[in-house]
Structure 1
Amino acid sequence: MQLEDYFGEFLRKTVNLSQFKLDTLDDRVGKIYRALQNDGLLGERVQGMSKQGSWAHKTIIDPVGDNEFDADFMLYLEDDTSWTPRDYLANVKAALGRSSTYRNMTVERKNRCVRVVYASSCHIDIVPAVSRYEAEYVAYYKDDAWEMTDPQGFTSWMKEKDDIAGGNLRRVIRLIKFLRDHRGSFTGTRSVILTTLLGERVSALKKFSDPGYYKNVPTALVNIIGDLDEFLQANPTKPIIMDPSGSGASFDHRWTQETYAYFRDRIHSHAAEMRAAYDSSDKSDSVSKWQAIFGEEFIAPTSNQSSSPFGSPATALASTGLSGRAG
């Protein structure tokens, strides 16, 4: 059975990041951005910001237990050829060190970002970027090099795919992330790869042939995972996963053949399990089968409330930028 109301309840109560946490995230990012804008040395170089990753795609989920939730944002800075990529990361970290708010907090320099850690709560990754020759680049500390990227292009692609699926692609991605993070179904497959693989399975042609192909969450889930399984089974060797924004970058370095093989096997099992749960005509049996996949928190709705931080299929997937970004 489809049990659409069960899925709605499960997403609202168990999977989705709460509205309080989303509001907290917005507030903290805004304060970090203003601190960088107001810094006496870095501030004049700041040109804008935009959400990226699961925060921009609306696929962020509640973390396991007391683990931190996280979000990334791009910090667009003036292109200065006298600075190396490492300089950009170092200077963002230094600017936060000069702030009365952040100097006593944990601020870490990573390979592609500067991370601000809020103890037992969340962390926020600031990704320095420059615009050059009508393209965007992010700093990579390890190689002291620039990497071409197009996070807003990725977000636009994600929105197009989600629109085809009636807003259900982002819900499917959240459910699969839940299996990875909360159920331990598979490990090592990064969210950007999950998003790309699942999004690439969404097809306007399939929806044209069958208008109900993505009609609700359980139908979209079973069909998208079934199509993903078909793709993976046709590729025993790890395929090259390209950035769907068209940046020319690949995500190949983000997983190994071993990780891929394990993911391939787990998706094959899940596709069969989900199809069996979906096709069962007995409600009790169907609930039991879905619970075997998602856990005992997959239960009947306890109220008629439908509010959710990512609830409406019509909610736009927008990359939020502040005024002032060059270009």
Structure 2
Amino acid sequence: MIQFQDKNIQLDDLLDRMAESLQLDKTRYDLMIQHYEAIKKWIEADELFFKPFKYELYPHGSVRIRTTVKPIGKDEFDLDIALHLKAQWNNHTPEKIYAELKRRLSEHSVYKEKMELKNRCIRLNYAGDFHMDILPGIQENEWDEDKLRVPDRQLGYWVSSNPRGYAKWFLNKANTIKVSLLEKALRAENLPSNDYENKKPLQRAVQLIKTYRDIYFQKDDTYKTSSIVLTTIAGQYYNGEDSIFLAVENIVNQIRRNTFNIPARIKVLNPVNAEEDFTDKWESEPKYYEAFKAFCEHLYVQWQELKKENGIITEGRILKDLFGDDLYMKAQISQTDVIDKARNNNQLGIDKKTETLGALGVASIAPIKSNTFFGDNED
């Protein structure tokens, strides 16, 4: 439930509901975890190479930081896994580590049929459900338990990475805000908070920006901006806004301020590993950077329109253009269901002064009649 008379809270509620329907559902999440645990056991049982080592196998990426987005045009999520060996990385070649992971997976009757060799990881494709990217790496030093050396097959040598440290950084940024605008509204009206999954505004902002990215590049994804770049920029520019709308606005405003009318391109470095440039291809292929700026400018313009008192029809059109008809309609239906439920439970009334919806218990709020099955008000 929400303070329906407040436009900003209504909009945040709608954005929250859109983001909620984008993410990994519990059934698929549980299925991913089952497969992940099975792969973990299979690697742990390897007698030829992995078993003698001390190592960890853990998720990273969007699943870990809770910013998953349902891909457009296919029903598939990705799960990123790090195979983190605790050994002297310079005692092994990157080719050896990659080859041993490939060998072990090839020894499994199911995994060998699902394997796809990528530059730094090995992907297992579970068609129609998800794919799992397994990144092999060796801990870089003893004093940083998160920093890894991972093989890069194109370059032919080790590169530095820090997927677990990155997740910690992002979640720390997201958690700088303790109570969101929506949570404050619920507490103010003494209403239950189970309508929200309690995601932070930064996490929701990333989900929405990535979804807009997917729609923008749907016709031609040749120079599509990567999720890691968008997530990192969002985390770096986030200023602790308690509102989803304001978080997105601040992020796109700062992108615009730092990219336009500045001759040099921006660099997006891993915030926990400055050796890792997430935008290195922008140097060799400038069209990636131009495409990034173009889609950020479009998002900026549309977001400015949302700030205006447009009315529900214009606001709906803007949100549909940004995030798609289906996502918007699902969120609207979900919001309407909550309003109906509150009304039928005698939690909702009409403010006699403003004629807007509000929570009962306030002196100016009068109860409204429940709808019958046929849509008529009960006497």
TM-score, normalised by the number of residues in structure 2? 0.71
> 2:280 is matched by which residue type in structure 1?
H
Moved over 4 A (4+): none
CA distance in 2, matches of 1:286, 1:102: 47
Preserved CA contact (<8 Å) 2:84 2:148: no
Partner residue in 1 for 2:243: 216
Deviation, 1:158, is 0.6
Decide which of 337, 346, 352 is 1:303's aligned counterpart: 337
| 1:163 partner amino acid | N
The one of 138, 158, 173 aligned to 2:170: 158
Which letter does structure 1 place at the counterpart of 2:236? Answer: E
Partner of 2:364: none
Shift of 1:234: 4.6
What is aligned with 1:312? none
Say whether residues 1:267 and 2:293 are aligned partners. no
Q: CA deviation at 1:36?
A: 0.5
CA–CA separation in structure 2 for the residues paired with 1:67 and 1:238: 35
Amino acid in structure 2 at the alignment position of 1:169: L
CA shift, 1:236, in A, is 4.3
Matches within 5 A, 1:31-42: 31-41=38-48, 42=50
CA RMSD of aligned residues (A): 2.3
User: Secondary structure at the residue paired with 1:44?
Assistant: coil
Higher relative contact order (CA 8 A, sep 6+): 1
Residue 199 in 1 paired to residue 208 in 2? no
Tell me, yes or no, if structure 1 residue 130 matches structure 2 residue 147: no
Q: Distance in 1 between matches of 2:248 and 2:313?
A: 20
When Rg is computed on C-alpha atoms for both structures, the one with the higher figure is 2
Which of 84, 105, 113 is the matching residue for 2:121? 113
Q: Report deviation, 1:87.
A: 0.9
Q: Give 1:302 shift.
A: 4.1
288, 292, 295: which one aligns with 2:321: 292
Report 1:40-189 matches (<5 A): 40-41=47-48, 42-45=50-53, 47-79=55-87, 81-103=90-112, 105-134=113-142, 135-165=147-177, 166=180, 167-184=200-217, 187-189=223-225
Provide TM-score, normalisation by structure 1: 0.82
Q: CA deviation at 1:25?
A: 1.5
Distance across 2 between alignment mates of 1:221 and 1:112: 31
| 1:8-47 alignment, distance < 5 Å | 8-13=16-21, 15-41=22-48, 42-45=50-53, 47=55
In structure 2, stretches of 5+ residues that fail to align are 1-6, 181-199, 340-379
Q: Distance in 2 between matches of 1:132 and 1:66?
A: 37
Aligned length: 294
Residue 27 of structure 1 aligns to which amino acid in structure 2?
Q
In 2 relative to 1, CA 293–78 (structure 1 residues): closer, same or farther, beyond 3 Å?
A: closer
Instruction: For 2:277, give the aligned amino acid.
Output: S
Alpha carbons of structure 1 residues 173 and 235: separation in structure 2 relative to 1, 3 Å: farther
How high is the sequence identity, in percent, across the aligned residues? 23
Give yes or no for contact 1:179–1:294 (8 Å, CA) kept in 2.
yes
How far off is 1:177 after superposition? 0.9
Q: How does 1:226-241 map to 2 (within 5 A)?
A: 226-241=253-268
Q: Letter of the aligned partner of 1:94 in structure 2?
A: R
2:305 to 276, 281, 292: 276
Query: CA–CA distance in 1 between the matches of 2:54 and 2:317?
Result: 53
